[in-house]
Amino acid sequence: MNITLQVWRQAKPSSPGGFKTYLVEDVSPDMSFLEMLDVLNERLVLQGEEPITFESDCREGICGACGVMINGLPHGPQLGTATCQLHMRKFSDGDTITVEPWRAAAFPVVKDLMVDRSAFDRIIEAGGYISVNTGSPPDANEIPVPKPVADTAFDAAACIGCGACVAACPNGAANLFTAAKVAHLNLLPQGQPERWDRVVAMVDTMEEFFGSCTNHGECEKACPKSISIDFIALLNHDYVKAKFKNRRLVAQQG
């Protein structure tokens, strides 16, 4: 296959960027999208041009490091698939593909296709954990968790923190990311003591960096782990409820 790429090149955060066109010849359909970029980069180096900077690490769709806009879609056309797991067989000979960094005000460009997603860490830091010191827990089987609860918590916990949800959102909102962590912890019995404080702290921190959710649903479609937008409903539910909760009585109220 022969593919024409239009790639966003930007030398550093403060310098203006622009698209550059590259023709990549002899692309095998069994290559992954990032392997195709690897091949292009090797050729660029040999031609004396700086290779395209992009992030990737595990290349198994689990670390969340990779992610670019491919023809305007975060992670490209294949549903439930991170960029590193997208293969060239999803494209056709002669295609022109536009490759850009995540589009979001909260994720400034570092170089070329690499962006800064540290705002996600700030949200987790605000309360995305259960406060349990090393060494203090009870035996694991003393906390039974009904299977449907464990399964749903897992569905939320599957988030890889790639930022596709933000890049897809017309408002640049991070509600799906935040909701996934809030739901993971707030659904579990272990997460109950801090449930109400957690949701308020995480949502308030989220709003310092990101836009507001207006229920477009683009995030769910872009998510490489197909995390359901239902978790945003749970986030909103818990946030509103938290504002009315008398924390001293939560043990009675459940």
Q: Which is nearer to another protein, 141 or 246 (CB)?
A: 141
Q: Which is nearer to another protein, 97 or 225 (CB)?
A: 225
144 scored as a contact of another protein (CB under 8 A)? yes
What is the C-alpha to C-alpha distance for residues 87 and 90, in angstroms, rounded to an integer? 6
Q: Kindly identify the residues of this chain, within the stretch 200-219, that bind another protein according to CB under 8 A.
A: none
Q: Which is nearer to another protein, 144 or 254 (CB)?
A: 144
100 φ, ψ (degrees, to nearest 5)? -130, 160
3-state secondary structure of 252: helix
125 scored as a contact of another protein (CB under 8 A)? yes
Q: Judged by CB under 8 A, which of 22, 71, 98, 110 binds another protein? A: 110
Q: Judged by CB under 8 A, which of 23, 79, 143, 250 binds another protein? A: 143
What is the C-alpha to C-alpha distance for residues 243 and 232, in angstroms, rounded to an integer? 17
CB within 8 Å of 128: residues ≥ 6 apart: 181, 182, 185, 198, 202
Q: Kindly identify the residues of this chain, within the stretch 223-252, that bind another protein according to CB under 8 A.
A: none
**Is the CB of residue 101 less than 8 Å from the CB of residue 115?**
yes
Q: Kindly identify the residues of this chain, within the stretch 182-201, that bind another protein according to CB under 8 A.
A: 184-185, 188, 190-191
- For 112, 135, 227, 233, the CA distances from 180, given in Å and listed in that order, are 29, 27, 8, 11
Nearest CA-CA partner of 201 in 247, 234, 242:
242
Q: How many residues bind another protein (CB under 8 A)?
A: 77
Q: Kindly identify the residues of this chain, within the stretch 10-69, that bind another protein according to CB under 8 A.
A: 11-12, 28, 30-32, 34-35, 38-39, 42, 45-46, 48-51, 53, 55-65
Min dist CB 129 to another protein, Å, is: 4
